[in-house]
A and B are shown apart, each in its own frame.
Chain A
Amino acid sequence: DTAVSQTPKYLVTQMGNDKSIKCEQNLGHDTMYWYKQDSKKFLKIMFSYNNKELIINETVPNRFSPKSPDKAHLNLHINSLELGDSAVYFCASSQEIKAKNIQYFGAGTRLSVL
């Protein structure tokens, strides 16, 4: 059983399109995240939700809209895709225990905007 699963694994689309990435975790964690990893491998946090509530929202264009229907799911919708959105998007979950925060990552979604 995959702990953190995200779909699709690959996404190739044209500029200007709207696309969604889905993420689900079966670890029972309270917190879920979206990260963007660019071509230089820099891993940057975008959003995090704790029990369906948004707690971190980094300076991300408002074309990116996360949605958490329940604490096991965190989806990411991207409007009007741009070339610079091409990257690998990772979903992650964690459960903080005594301030220890271990991130469990999904396999990633490789987004290519043409």
Chain B
Amino acid sequence: GQSLEQPSEVTAVEGAIVQINCTYQTSGFYGLSWYQQHDGGAPTFLSYNALDGLEETGRFSSFLSRSDSYGYLLLQELQMKDSASYFCAVTGGYQKVTFGIGTKLQVIP
């Protein structure tokens, strides 16, 4: 089976940097993804890491260490609109994607 752990809530100040960590245990692993979900909305894809290292997409970066079963999402220059839930997700066999519980990020002025 697969299980993921991430913090349930994080609060950060507008303009700051925040890191959301994710650790996972999985029987099959192809990659780690991150999704953003605003209240009342649908999850939307942010980034994907299959190999160790950092992937950067604008203000968002994602990191993966396969040997540590660990990854993180880094959000820079936080904006109020970044307030949302962020889910890490593991892709395993049969294209099965298992999501973490989500981290609710609150950006304050």
- Hey, which bits of chain A sit against chain B, CB under 8 A? 31, 33, 40-45, 48, 50, 55-56, 90, 94, 96, 98-108
Contact = CB atoms under 8 A, between A and B. Distances in A.
Contacts of B97: 33, 45, 94, 101, 103
A103 B35 contact: yes
Interface in B84-102: 85, 87, 89, 91, 94-99, 101-102
Contacts of A99: 30-31, 50, 91
A43 B43 contact: yes
Contacts of B99: 42-45
B16 to A, nearest CB: 24
Interface string B35-62: 1010001111100101000000000000
B86 to A, nearest CB: 11
Interface of B: 30-31, 33, 35, 37, 41-45, 48, 50, 85, 87, 89, 91, 94-99, 101-102, 104
Nearest to A106: B42
Q: Nearest 6 CB-CB pairs, A to B?
A: A105-B42, A99-B30, A43-B99, A101-B91, A102-B45, A41-B102
B42 A48 contact: no
Contacts of A105: 42-44
Contact of B31 (A90, A94, A101, A108): A101
A103 B102 CA distance: 16
Interface centre among A41, A45, A90, A108 (most CB of B within 10 A): A41
Contacts of B89: 103
18 contacts: A33-B97, A40-B101, A41-B102, A42-B101, A42-B102, A43-B43, A43-B87, A43-B99, A50-B95, A90-B42, A90-B43, A100-B31, A102-B33, A103-B45, A103-B97, A105-B43, A108-B41, A108-B42
Contacts of A104: 45
A90 B41 CA distance: 10
A105 B43 CA distance: 6
Given A100-B31, A101-B91, A48 B96 contact: yes
A37 to B, nearest CB: 9
